[in-house]
């Protein structure tokens, strides 16, 4: 994400007609396994959130606090995981000078515990 890595990466990508395909290809080539694992979790969270939202729109939002608790647990977990992802991304070393990957994981655990405390409190 840092600007200087952008230029070096961009040159290695072979120009393709479809930007989405190019993005997919480049992602597969360049992302370390750890980050891909996180990304799989992110996709799972996103799907869960979409299902909940569709259920809320199509069927009912009746226990509105339960919907909000469930939906914000997926959204909150998503952004916390995305934060973890950008913190442990080796390309972002310069930005997070004081946050080591271990520290980032501890932060992630702390944030998730707090989040889920409030989620369970709000489920009602």
Binding site for another protein (CB under 8 A): 1, 5-6, 9-11, 13, 15-16, 19-20, 22-23, 26-27, 30, 64-65, 68-69, 72, 75-76, 79-80, 82-84, 86-87, 89, 91-92, 95-96, 98-99, 103-104, 106-108, 110-111, 114-115, 118-119, 121-122
Question: Which is nearest to 85 in space by CA: 101, 72, 73?
Answer: 101
Least Å distance, CB 84 to another protein, is 7
Our CA angle for 95, 97, 102, nearest 5°, is 110
């Amino acid at each position: 994400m840092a600007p200087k890595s952008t230029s070096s990466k961009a040159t290695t990508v072979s120009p393709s007609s479809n930007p989405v395909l190019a993005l997919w290809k480049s992602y597969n080539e360049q992302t370390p396994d750890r980050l891909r694992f996180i990304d799989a979790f992110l996709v799972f969270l996103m799907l869960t959130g979409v299902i909940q939202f569709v259920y809320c729109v199509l069927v009912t939002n009746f226990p509105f606090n339960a919907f909000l608790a469930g939906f914000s647990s997926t959204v909150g977990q998503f952004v916390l995981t995305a934060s973890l992802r950008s913190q442990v991304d080796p390309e972002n070393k310069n930005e997070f000078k004081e946050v080591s990957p271990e520290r980032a994981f501890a932060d992630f655990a702390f944030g998730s515990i707090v989040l889920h405390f409030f989620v369970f409190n709000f489920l009602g």
